Structure 1
Amino acid sequence: MLPLNFCTFEAERETIDAMFGVGLVIIGMAVVLLPVRWFLQRRMDNVALFAADVQPGAFNSTWLAALFLAPTIIILALFLYYPALENFRLSVLLTRLGVPRTAFVCVDNFTRLVQDTEYINTVLITFGISIAIVIIGLVLALLIATMAYQPLKGAKIYRTLLIWPYAISPVVAGLIFLLLFNPTGGIVNYFLQGMFGFQIGWLNNPAAAPWAVIIASVWKSMGFNILFYIAGLQNVPKDLQESAAIDGANALQRFWKITIPLLSPITFFLIITNMTYAFFETFGTIDYLTGGGPLNSTTTMMYRIYEVGVVNGDLGKAAAQSIVLFAMVIGLTVLQFRTTERRVNYGA
Structure 2
Amino acid sequence: MTGKRVTFDNIPLAVALIAPQLLLVFTFFYWPTGEALYWAFTLEPPFGGDNQWVGWQNFTTVFGDALYWNSVRTSVIFALASTAMAMGIALLLALFVDRQLPGYKAYRFLYFLPYAVAAPAVGLAFRFIFAPDAGLISAVNAFFPGIWNPALDGNDALILVTVANAWSMVAYNFVFFLAGLQSIPRSLTEAAAMDGSGAVRRMRDIQLPLLAPTVFFLIVINVTDSFVNSFGIVDIMTGGGPARATDLMVYRIYSDGFRGKDYSLAAAQSIVLMLLIVVLTFVQFRYVERRVHYV
Residue aligning to 1:141? 90
2:168 corresponds to 1:220: yes
For the residue of structure 2 that corresponds to 1:268, the secondary structure is helix
Residue aligning to 1:242? 190
Residue aligning to 1:192? 140
Query: Equivalent residues in 2 for 1:270-281 (5 A)?
Result: 270-281=218-229
| TM-score (normalizing by structure 1) | 0.79
2:17 corresponds to 1:68: yes
Q: In the alignment, residue 172 of structure 1 is paired with which amino acid? A: A
1:210-250 per-position Cα deviation (integer Å, ceiling 9, x unaligned): 00001101111111111111111111212111222333433
Deviation at 1:191, TM superposition (A): 4.6
Matches of 1:78 and 1:286, distance apart in 2: 27
Residue aligning to 2:214? 266
CA pair 146-176 structure 1, distance change in 2 beyond 3 A = same
1:153-176 per-position Cα deviation (integer Å, ceiling 9, x unaligned): 222112211211110000000000
Matches of 1:256 and 1:138, distance apart in 2: 16
Gaps in structure 1 of 5+ consecutive residues: 1-53
1:85-143 per-position Cα deviation (integer Å, ceiling 9, x unaligned): 11110001112321324321101000111111110110000000001011111111111
Q: Percent identity?
A: 35
Deviation at 1:59, TM superposition (A): 2.5
2:98 corresponds to 1:158: no
- Which stretch has the larger CA shift, 89-98 or 60-69? 60-69
Deviation at 1:197, TM superposition (A): 4.2
2:51 corresponds to 1:102: yes
CA pair 145-325 structure 1, distance change in 2 beyond 3 A = same
Contact 2:41 2:58 in 1 (8 A): yes
Residue aligning to 2:288? 340
Contact 1:203 1:212 in 2 (8 A): no
Q: In the alignment, residue 262 of structure 2 is paired with which amino acid? A: D
Matches of 2:112 and 2:270, distance apart in 1: 32
Contact 2:119 2:168 in 1 (8 A): yes
Matches of 2:89 and 2:28, distance apart in 1: 36
For the residue of structure 1 that corresponds to 2:125, the secondary structure is helix
CA pair 237-192 structure 1, distance change in 2 beyond 3 A = farther
Contact 2:131 2:138 in 1 (8 A): no
Matches of 1:150 and 1:245, distance apart in 2: 13
| TM-score (normalizing by structure 2) | 0.93
Q: Please, what is the CA RMSD of the aligned residues?
A: 1.8
2:39 corresponds to 1:90: yes
Q: In the alignment, residue 244 of structure 2 is paired with which amino acid? A: N
Q: In the alignment, residue 218 of structure 2 is paired with which amino acid? A: L
Deviation at 1:62, TM superposition (A): 7.3
Q: In the alignment, residue 140 of structure 1 is paired with which amino acid? A: I
Residue aligning to 1:284? 232
Deviation at 1:344, TM superposition (A): 2.0
Contact 2:132 2:141 in 1 (8 A): no
Contact 1:97 1:313 in 2 (8 A): yes
